[in-house]
Amino acid sequence: MRSLSALIAVCLVALAIGCSSEIILHDVNYDYDVNADFSRMKTYQWISMPATLRIDDFNRSRIREYTEIELSTRGMRMTEDNPDMYIVMFGGGYKAVDMSVLMQYEVYTIGRLKLAMYESASNREIWWGETKADLFHDMTPEEKDEATKSAVTRILMYYPPRRTVE
């Protein structure tokens, strides 16, 4: 009887863990132009592209807000007049299913978030960073805020690039 009780307890714990909406952290990929002078980049302006429109209005607003907060801590500010660089957000996603114990499953969106920065004088890309951000269908707006904030913060950990001295 004790082993049956222990088995039930383990199953309930596994079920609770499998059903929880948690933020899943993914790796961040990034690249940059090694010849770009990032110390000159003090102002920016957002630019929309067709890939930006694949992100719904609520998430687009979240991404902008958290990006602006992160960049302001680096002394950067948004401007409409003569920015040093342009920022574009790219996104997209696809539905995925996560099977857990006892045949429970969760449908969620695997979203790709990419932030790209272009030097305004030349319109050339000088930096980009991307990661995945999972948004589960049963997440509250507050949980979606937290997942988006986490993704943006982790991407911008690599901006401006820290060059290694050889």
Mean pLDDT of 43-55: 86
- Give the strand order in the sheet containing 124-136: 29-32, 124-136, 105-119, 85-99, 43-46, 77-78
Comparing 35 with 139, which gets the higher pLDDT? 35
Place of tokens 């050339």: 124
pLDDT of residue 111: 77
| Range ranked top by mean pLDDT from 58-67, 92-101, 128-137 | 58-67
- For 35, the token pair is 């010849």
Q: How confident is the model at residue 21 (pLDDT cuts 50, 70, 90)?
A: very low
Quote the CA–CA distance of 80 and 83 in Å, as a whole number: 7
**Whole-number average pLDDT of the chain:** 81
Tell me: domain 21-156, CATH 3.20.20.80, correct? no
* All structural domains of the chain with their residue ranges: 21-156
pLDDT at 159 over 80: yes
Peptide linkage before 161 cis (omega within 30 of 0): no
Q: Which amino acid is at 26?
A: H
pLDDT of residue 10: 37
Mean pLDDT of 158-163: 90
